Every structure is written in C-alpha cells, then in structure tokens.
Amino acid sequence: MISKCRICGSDNFVPILDLGNTPLANSLLTEDQLETPQMSYPLTLVFCPACTLVQITAAVPPEQLFSQYLYFSSYSDTMLAHAKQIADHLIQSRGLSEQSLVVEIASNDGYLLKNFVAAGIPVLGIEPAKNISSVAQQNSIRTLSEFFDKNLAQKLQKQSFMADVLFANNVLAHVADLHSVVEGIRILLKKNGVAVIETPYVKDMIDNVEFDTIYHEHLCYYSLTALNRLFSIHGLAISDVEHLDIHGGSLRLFVSRPDSAGDRSNVEEWLKREEAWGVSSSAYYENFALSVNRLKKSLLKLLRELRSGGYEIAAYGAAAKGATLLNSFGIGRDLIKYVVDRSPYKQGQYMPGCRLPILAPEMLLERMPDYVLLLTWNFADEILKQQEEYRKRGGKFILFVPKITIV
C-alpha cells in the first residue's frame, strides 16, 4: 500500500471508490489451480487534491504483474488499425527514414512497431513480458525483454539508441515509479524528438462509469492537468493533445523538450477546460461510488431476471476489465455459464476469482446462449461485427457502458 502520491508525494488522499479485495485481473487459472486458494488484494481508488492524480493505493510488485502476460494486442483488429493510422501519420509528418529510430515502451507483440519495420525504419521495442517479447522477436521486431526506467535509458543512450519517436501507449497507467520512467523518456529523446503517449482519460472513466478499468495493473488514472505537472517536473513539455475514442476515451499526448514544443495553445485551452469541470476538486469525483452501486444493482437485477426466466447467459472478453466487473459485482456461475475470448493464449483457462471457463468465440454459435454480456465493451463495434451470425440467429448482447443496453 502506498502512503504518498505517485506524482507529488502528498499524503492527503480523498477516497473515491472501494471495490474490496479482488484477485489480480490477469491471473488466469489453469484447471489444475481451480482447487487452490487465489491471492486477492485491496482495490481502493483515491484522489490527490495537491496534483489532481487519481490512483489506487495498492502496490503489487511489477515483476508479479508483467513478467508473464496474456494480453496480445495483435488479436484486436481495432488496435491494429489504430496503430497503423498513427504510424503512417508520423512517418509522413516527421519524415522518418532508415536513418531514424522509433522506440516503444511496453511494445507488446510488435503490433505497432511492425508498421515502421515494413517502411524500412529501424525500431527498438522494450517489453518486460518474456512470453510476449519472444513473439515480437520471432516476427523480426527488435525487442529487449526488460522493464523501462531511467537506468535502462542511460544504458541505451550510451549505446547511441536515441529516439526520433518514442511511444508509450497504455503504459503510464501501469507504472509504479513514474519519475524514473518519465526521466528515462527525457534521456532517450533526441533534441527534436517526440514522445507519443496514450493513456485512458479519467474524465471519461468518471462520466461513463467505466469503473471496470480499475484493477491492480492500472495504478494511475490521468487528467491532462496531472500529466502536465508530471512532465514539467522532468523538463518536458506537452506540445499537443488529442482526445481519442479508443478504450472508452483516451488522451494522446505529444511530448518534447520545451525549446521544440512550439505553439501550446491547444494544451492551455485543455487545461482551462479541465479546471472548469472541476479537475482540482474532490467534489467532481464524489458521486462515482454511487454511480457504480447503481450500475451494480441494475445489472444484477437484469441478469437474475433473465436467468430466472430460463435464459442462458455467456460473456465475451476474458480481459482485465471483465475480471474487475465479475469479481466486484459478485457475478459467478449462477448467472454466467462461460466466457469466450479470441485469444488462443486464454482459451482453456479460467477467469480469476469467479473461475468461469474461457472458450473460443466459435462456441457462441455451437451453444447459442440467449444473451452475451460484453465485458470488452471498448471493442464493441469490432465484436458485434464479428458476431453478426450469432446475432442473426437470435443471440443478443448486453452492454453496460455508458448505460445498460441490449443489442
């Protein structure tokens, strides 16, 4: 458990939401482990008034969370298209060539960097999960299987690995030692280099009741205000910011050294808007727990009514957010029969805590459950399109973000 804020060091936390003790969201179980008790950890969300950072208080060692990992980005068509779009844009806008270097922190299986490799641009991936980094290496994506921090950045700098573009997508939320990682980004950037950083946006999480994005791997939930303070501490400037729909609402930051940041008027306008909606006040976050409890009551009522009516319910998406929902809401085999997932690395295993079996998506057509609870709602359009035949045969999906809907 932490006692001080991960950005500013303040010990003045305001509680926002307590989800109780839950297992690690990606700690899937094999059949041999089903009879063994599973460790669980407190999952409490707090707000720091001093710097506006929203964060959880638990601090599970990163080696326990990330040394082996089961999320492969390449199994999402949405993520592949999203990666190609930003890669193509940067290749053109920054004139990247065979003389350039693109570095990615938490590069997963190379789903993003492969676009640069295809264009003949040198890359370096840094991915701590050995099982995932080995897949990237097999696909000719140069990848180091290490955790990124200031020390690694200094080593790479001495070896002349300096980045024209450095990606850190969906990684800052996972970082325990933020200052070491951000300082590492500063060290590794060329003088005119840019860091492109994506992270889920805390305002979207609060407004849309996306509480299931809270789990032990996601330590921090960012506003632009909090991120601006973090980067400024390390002599970096956010030169531009975009809002993305992906993952339920995310920010994409373009970060550089201050002398090459250019016109920051868009960033300043964003900061003013955040102050207007109350980013610095705990009042904005106070009703989040009430909203989560209302969703819990409504969703459990619907699932129980369907089951009592004789309908069979499955779930789609053995993702971390699904584990948070199932375990914090107490949804088990009495309501859901099984979970399906596209990743073969997850099929044949069991969800943590609730221990629902994970099957291939083809089982939806074979077994034809009446309803499917969509746990990975952030990929709803992609999944609904993939499951068009199931829906044609009468199957229905239950969505619960931003509100409960049956489609």
Q: Tell me whether residue 13 is in a domain.
A: no
Residue 88 and residue 187 in one domain = yes
Contacts of 179-182 with C-beta under 8 Å, sequence gap 24+, read 179/233, 179/234, 180/149, 180/150, 180/151, 181/105, 181/148, 181/149, 181/150, 182/230, 182/231, 182/233, 182/234, 182/236
Verify that 360 and 278 share a domain, yes or no.
Answer: no
Whether 132 has a pLDDT exceeding 80, the answer reads yes
77 and 206 together in one domain: yes
Does residue 55 fall inside a structural domain? no
User: What pLDDT score was predicted for residue 241?
Assistant: 98
Q: State whether 206 and 338 are in the same domain.
A: no
State yes or no: pLDDT of 76 exceeds 90: no
Residues 211 and 175 in one domain: yes
Same domain membership, residue 311 and residue 200: no
Least confident of 2-11, 127-136, 248-257, 268-277: 127-136
> DSSP characters for 60-92?
--HHHHHSS----GGG-HHHHHHHHHHHHHHHH
Question: Which tens digit of pLDDT belongs to each residue from 85-97?
Answer: 999 999 999 999 9
Question: What pLDDT does residue 73 have?
Answer: 72
Q: Do the domain assignments include residue 295?
A: no
Question: Residue 260: its pLDDT value, please?
Answer: 84
> In the chain, how many domains are there?
2
- pLDDT band for 69, please (50, 70, 90 cuts): low
Question: pLDDT at residue 258 above 70?
Answer: yes
Q: What is the mean pLDDT of the chain?
A: 95
Q: pLDDT category, 66, cuts 50, 70, 90? A: low
Distances in Å between the alpha carbon of 373 and those of 2, 199, 254, 380, 383?
Answer: 34, 25, 36, 11, 12
Q: Output the domain CATH number for residue 209.
A: 3.40.50.150
149 and 243 share one domain: yes
* Residue carrying the six token digits 């707090």: 46
What pLDDT is stored for residue 254 in this prediction?
Answer: 97
Which sign, positive or negative, has the C-alpha torsion 398, 199, 163, 165? positive
- Which stretch of 54-68, 219-233, 251-265, 373-387 has the lowest confidence by average pLDDT? 54-68
Residue 45 domain-assigned (yes or no): no
Q: Is the pLDDT of residue 62 over 90?
A: no
Helix intervals (H) in 23-69: 62-66
Amino acid occupying residue 100: S
277 and 312 in one domain? no
Does residue 167 surpass a pLDDT of 70? yes
Tell me what the mean pLDDT of segment 13-36 comes to.
95
**Whole-number pLDDT of residue 60:** 86
> Is 46 a domain residue?
no
Stretch 123-135: mean pLDDT: 93
Same domain, 310 and 344: yes
Closest CA to 192 of 116, 100, 114, 267: 100
Question: Does 398 lie in the same domain as 324?
Answer: yes
Q: Residue 1 — very low, low, confident or very high, per pLDDT cuts 50/70/90?
A: confident
**What was the pLDDT predicted at 64?**
75
CA distance 47 to 142: 39
Can you give the pLDDT at residue 68? 61
* Domain enclosing residue 96, as ranges: 65-285
What letters, b where the CB count within 10 A reaches 16 and e where it falls short, cover 94-105? eebeeebbbbbb
* pLDDT higher than 70, residue 270: yes
Confidence (pLDDT) at 104 = 97
Choose the final residue of a domain: 256, 285, 314. 285
High-pLDDT (> 70) share of the chain, %: 98
| pLDDT score for 358 | 98
What would the mean pLDDT of 251-278 be, rounded to a whole number? 95
Tell whether 113 is covered by a domain: yes
State residue 63's pLDDT score: 73
- Domain termination residue (choose one: 233, 252, 285): 285
Which of 230, 253, 285 is a domain's end point?
285
CA dist., res. 184 & res. 84, Å (int): 25
Most confident segment among 73-82, 128-137, 149-158, 252-261 = 149-158
Q: What is the CATH number of the domain that holds 350?
A: 3.40.50.720
Instruction: Please indicate, yes or no, if residue 188 is contained in any of the structural domains.
Output: yes
| Residue 280 and residue 329 share a domain | no
**327 and 257 belong to one structural domain:** no
Is residue 135 included in any domain, yes or no? yes
Per-residue pLDDT of 319-364, as tens digits, reads 999 999 999 999 999 999 999 999 998 999 999 999 999 999 999 9
